[in-house]
Amino acid sequence: MSPAVRTPAERQPFGAAITGLGLVTPAGIGIEENWQRVTSGRSCASRDPALRGGPVDFSCRVPDFDADTLIGGFACRQLARFVQLAIVAARQAVADAGWNPRSWDGARVGVVLGNSLGGLQSVEAGQQAMSSGGPRKISPLMVPMYLASMVAGQVAIDLGARGPSQVTATACASGATAVGTARELLRRGECDVVVAGGSEAALTPLAVAGLGRMGALSARSDTPELASRPFDVDRDGFVPAEGAGVLILERLADVRARGGRVRAVVRGYGAATDAYHPTAPAPGGEGIEQALRVALADAGIAGADVDHANAHATSTPIGDVIEGRMLQRVLGSRALVTSTKGVIGHPLAAAGAIEAAYTVLAIEHRSVPPTSNLVRLEPELDLDVVHGAPRPAPIEVAVSTSMGFGGHNAALVLTAS
């Protein structure tokens, strides 16, 4: 064990129970809808009329999301889409955990959510209004609808959660960072319940063109449904997506005392930084390896004992192979690996939270979802990457890894009980 993964002797093992899940993703709105689509292995990517004429004109959007029906009310129109997705996912998760926000002690409830791009749509509209009519035409709601921090603030308003709240911004690791941060709030006794997760909804022509100019996106415009193909030898970039995932975290003893249901347990969390390049992952995968080893040490679990890994693998030529080699080094080749991004694309800051939720569902269903579009495994990898059909398997220990621009890496260790 290297110095980086040594944990302080006084640090006791700590498990945070996951008692509720909420999912609003391209695979559907709701837990069952998501699980059915993700285990089907059918990609959600399709041609996107809003992106027509851009360098990449396809994406994975949340289907049939009608905020007026799902949230409603006068204030709904003041909520940016990434906030709307988060509110619906958070309400699902709270109900799933058996809590009623009208009766809980809101002062003991925290909110930690990941986001990167905020309400970019409001800035784009504001820029247009300013260009055509001058500064007086800018909406006074532009800034509050843009702010990334507003997703935690608005979810707190919706749920009456008056404990600590914050937004984590570690790019595509934000959702995993949020879950790890939420667990620390419980460990320190600052909260009794934490609403943790991530949300992203910035599929605007501007944002997608920017990602496309970086060379990060797949260029398979003719066959969008084949574009997201993590770990496949013919992968050429990720498919941009939107979505929100929320998990309710509580101390295990509290859940037992209230007779709640434990869906799974967050046993370990690790974070580390590449300190290498703004957007390219470190070639040796040192950062994500350190994050995963720290998470496993935090959980007191050996890499060889991990049954299942939900990989970050976004379908980029460089990232997938760096992460795959790292998984081999840390876990060996026994763990059943999947990347659910083959089905839902890459929802950026929401990815880590959505994938943590999928990992919980894999543990519960004793089934690893297939990696969509994986036909020929990247030859450099010797991993058991599930593809074609879901693989039934008892899963006691699972990990979920996340890597973000900025060299941010985060890993979660989840157990069945």
Judged by the rule CB under 8 A, the positions of this chain that interact with another protein are 68, 72-78, 137, 139-141, 144
Catalytic residue, chosen from 308, 346, 387, 408, is 346
User: Would you call 119 helix, strand, or coil by DSSP?
Assistant: coil
Measured between alpha carbons, how far is residue 182 from residues 28, 138, 186, 249 in Å? Answer: 25, 36, 7, 7
Which two structure tokens, joined as six digits, stand for 286? 């040192």
Nearer to another protein, 126 or 243 (CB): 126
Nearer to another protein, 138 or 294 (CB): 138
387 is catalytic: no
Residues listed for the chain: 417
264 contact partners, CB below 8 Å, separation of at least 6: 17, 18, 359, 360, 363, 364, 414, 415, 416, 417
CA-to-CA distance for 106 and 160, rounded, in angstroms?
6
Half-sphere exposure of 101 (CA within 13 A, CB side): 22
Catalytic residue, chosen from 308, 312, 387, 408, is 312
Measured between alpha carbons, how far is residue 226 from residues 45, 69, 235, 284 in Å? Answer: 8, 33, 9, 28
294: amino acid identity, one letter: V
CA-to-CA distance for 375 and 213, rounded, in angstroms?
27
Nearer to another protein, 158 or 250 (CB): 158
312 is catalytic: yes
Nearer to another protein, 73 or 392 (CB): 73
Nearer to another protein, 36 or 127 (CB): 127
**Cα torsion for 182, 187, 188, 189, to the nearest 10°?**
90
Nearer to another protein, 76 or 233 (CB): 76
346 is catalytic: yes
123 contact partners, CB below 8 Å, separation of at least 6: 142, 146
Nearer to another protein, 74 or 379 (CB): 74
Instruction: Yes or no: say if 15 and 269 are a contact pair by the CB < 8 Å rule.
Output: no
Give, as one character, the DSSP assignment of residue 197: E
Instruction: Yes or no: say if 320 and 272 are a contact pair by the CB < 8 Å rule.
Output: no
CA-to-CA distance for 56 and 197, rounded, in angstroms?
28
Catalytic residue, chosen from 172, 191, 308, 387, is 172
Residue 178, φ and ψ in degrees, nearest 5: -65, -40
Measured between alpha carbons, how far is residue 75 from residues 72, 106, 143, 144, 158 in Å? Answer: 8, 21, 16, 13, 10
Instruction: Yes or no: say if 269 and 413 are a contact pair by the CB < 8 Å rule.
Output: yes
CA-to-CA distance for 78 and 81, rounded, in angstroms?
10
Q: Which residues face 413 on adjacent strands?
A: 268, 399
- As annotated, the active-site residues are 172, 312, 346
